[in-house]
Amino acid sequence: MASKVVYRNRWMTVREDRIVRPDRSEGIYGFLEKPDFAVVVPAERGGFHLVEEYRYPIGARTWSFPQGSFPDRRAVDPERLGRAELAEETGLHAATMTVLGFLHGAHGTSDQGFTVFLATGLTPGEPAREPEEQDMVHRFVPRAEFCRMVRAGVITDSSTLAAYGLLLMHEQG
């Protein structure tokens, strides 16, 4: 099996592999290599802290839970990453970070996965956003409003919705 890098930048690698299928026919499988990321559900007072920013690939602003990875495809401790993303995007610091689970968002096209954390015992601070996050907005929304935003198509981020699903399962025990 041959593998070649088609494109690479500090955030991702696009790879193309020559494969042999179960029926012995040959083909090419292209996929994206990206570092795992963290999604943080900052919860308090019956709601969540969300961030909104412009997402270039879909050409729209969208709301989500704070999330991200470090540049240069660095692998790091997931909790350290989650705490860093929470503080960077919202300024919040969590007394407790509870792991809710690990998921793959697009396992047919990427090796990237994400760890979901529930952040509680929140203390406010100043965000320290990256240049790409200059237009980011942060706000608290009650849980009922979060659900309305999902139903209305205002929140469309699959990792945010998956994180919410893991939170619901966590709450059920």
Per-residue pLDDT tens digits for 11-27: 899 999 999 999 999 99
What pLDDT shows up at residue 73?
63
Indicate the fold that domain 35-172 takes in CATH.
Nucleoside Triphosphate Pyrophosphohydrolase (3.90.79)
Q: What is the average pLDDT across 57-70?
A: 94
Q: Is the pLDDT score of 32 beyond 80? A: yes
Q: What pTM, to 2 d.p., does this model score? A: 0.92
Q: What percent of the chain has pLDDT above 70?
A: 98
Q: Is the pLDDT score of 130 beyond 90? A: no
Strands 113-123 and 37-44: parallel
Helix axis angle, 143-151 relative to 158-172, nearest 10°? 140
What pLDDT shows up at residue 134?
84
Q: What is the average pLDDT across 31-60?
A: 95
Neighbour count for residue 168 (Cβ, 10 Å): 10
Structure-token match 């350290």, residue found:
80
Alpha carbons 60 and 96: distance in angstroms, whole number: 33
Q: Is the pLDDT score of 5 beyond 90? A: yes
When the pLDDT of each residue in the chain is averaged and rounded to a whole number, the result is 94
Least confident segment among 6-15, 81-90, 114-123: 6-15
- Are 150 and 141 spatial neighbours (Cβ–Cβ below 8 Å)? no
